[in-house]
Amino acid sequence: MELTWPQRDQTWNVDSSHYVLWTSDPSVASHSLRLQFSADDGRNWAQVATVTAGEGKFLWRVPPTVAESCRVRLSDPRTGIAADSEAFETVASQQVSDYRWSPVTLDGAFASRDGAGALVFDGRMWLIGGWHPGHKDFPKETNNEVWSSADGVRWTLEKANTFAEKGFDPARDWEGRHCAGYAVYKDRMWIIGGDGNQRHYQNDVWTSADGRSWTCVNKDRTPPWAPRVMFHAVVFEDRIWILGGQTVPQAAPSGHAFFNDAWTTTDGVNWRHVAPKAPSWPSRGLIGGSAVFNGRIWILGGGTYETPQFPQRKYYSDVWSSADGVNWRCHSERSAWNARQYHDVAVFDGRLWVMEGADRVNRNDVWYSRDGVNWYELPDTPWKPRHAASVFMHAGALWMVAGNNMESDVWKLSRAGGGPPSPEGPASIPAR
């Protein structure tokens, strides 16, 4: 039996949640083990829980004890075998008690949808495209309409859906899509790529200064990155980045490919390849929103979609970050939140956020962290489970809009009493 997590010199915040991980011999998989905690380097031990050896994991909430040399222990009463973790530190809690969700509207003017782009631009929230097969506003499964709102209550249709019109010209307007790359960059909104629902890969790049008129910047130049969908998009170091993604041969004929590379651009036309050095995050996509925090790009969970050759989806709960896209640091191999895909990530109130998504079923849990290591769950989420929602940081609040709950609801997270977000800056990011 071996305890593999926590590891040496880790720092865990009081009240945060972490997995304790271990390996054991298959012959004792059914044995009950005692999990204990010591705050004085193993001199005294307190009972935490009884676990089963074959489970290999236990989600533990760090007790309210600040100490420099802590350990956890697993012991098997049947065999007398015990294993102690390496020493780690516990420090003060970073939990916030006054976040509150409030409903803004449960019946927005826009049709329900998932995978719609979510950008904040010119003092407004912009909802771009989306997917809702069978709905009258989505005759080709996706559409290319654009809505905007300053308050989440009153929504304006800035651009009507033209995708279903007879004689639609993809050289003059962008095809309907969802789960594309979306960015605000150089005082414009950008749409990068898209999906494979029209039996081909959408590798075009469009930009707009008003949400109504859009220009394809690469009309005569196919991007050098291999065809892919469900990649992650961020703006970092004054460049647009796309990371990861995959092909989906059953939707858009192609070979099988899963990616963990990055491409960057300053104009949507000329792209530079960025290859990560090992160790790095395994190939994936299916991450909505974006997280650039403390001068680094963050990859939080995600996964892969099934294909004929690889019929099992993958779900991740690991956390990686990089200051250059080449050198990556793993902050957590298994975070407290369930592995998931089609979730949304964000930076709000000096913290990283992971929200909703799917791990075979839709979720409505919400987690936050100041360092990518110590995670706190925000309790009592009032909105329905969903994935592929549209998340905004606007007017001092975090907004949750629509998604695969297929309702036109709008929710807002802010501090109780309507006060400003925390003035705290990002936490320092400890090396591993």
* 80-94 per-position pLDDT tens digit: 999 999 999 999 999
Question: Are residue 120 and residue 46 in the same domain, yes or no?
Answer: no
**Residue 27 three-state SS:** helix
Q: Measure Cα distances from 333 to 99, 182, 222, 288 in Å.
A: 27, 28, 36, 20
Confidence of residue 417 (pLDDT cuts 50, 70, 90): low
Task: Give the pLDDT confidence of 41-57 residue by residue, as tens digits.
Answer: 999 999 999 999 999 99
Last residue of one domain, picked from the residues 91, 115, 147: 91
Question: Are residue 272 and residue 330 in the same domain, yes or no?
Answer: yes
Is the CA virtual torsion 276, 278, 280, 284 positive or negative? positive
CATH code, domain carrying 76: 2.60.40.10
Residues in the chain: 432
Question: Are residue 23 and residue 75 in the same domain, yes or no?
Answer: yes
pLDDT at 69 (0 to 100): 96
pLDDT above 80: residue 197? yes
pLDDT at 430 (0 to 100): 42
Average pLDDT over residues 181-205: 97
CATH code, domain carrying 343: 2.120.10.80
Question: Are residue 174 and residue 316 in the same domain, yes or no?
Answer: yes
pLDDT above 70: residue 431? no
Question: Are residue 122 and residue 53 in the same domain, yes or no?
Answer: no
Asked whether residue 56 is assigned to any structural domain, the reply reads: yes
Confidence of residue 422 (pLDDT cuts 50, 70, 90): low
Cα first-last separation, the chain? 24
- Measured CA to CA, the distance from residue 350 to residue 124 in angstroms comes to 21
pLDDT above 50: residue 152? yes
Asked whether residue 428 is assigned to any structural domain, the reply reads: no
Asked whether residue 178 is assigned to any structural domain, the reply reads: yes
Asked whether residue 220 is assigned to any structural domain, the reply reads: yes
Burial-class residue 194 by CB neighbours within 10 Å (0-12, 13-18, 19+): buried
Asked whether residue 424 is assigned to any structural domain, the reply reads: no
pTM over 0.85, yes/no = yes
Last residue of one domain, picked from the residues 36, 67, 91: 91
DSSP label at residue 53 = G
Task: Give the pLDDT confidence of 200-239 residue by residue, as tens digits.
Answer: 999 999 999 999 999 999 998 999 999 999 999 999 999 9
pLDDT at 220 (0 to 100): 86
- Measured CA to CA, the distance from residue 342 to residue 288 in angstroms comes to 6
Peptide bond preceding 279: is omega within 30 degrees of 0, i.e. cis?
yes
pLDDT above 70: residue 421? no
Task: Give the pLDDT confidence of 113-140 residue by residue, as tens digits.
Answer: 999 999 999 999 999 999 999 999 999 9
Boundaries of domain holding 72 = 2-91
Last residue of one domain, picked from the residues 68, 91, 114: 91
Question: Are residue 69 and residue 137 in the same domain, yes or no?
Answer: no
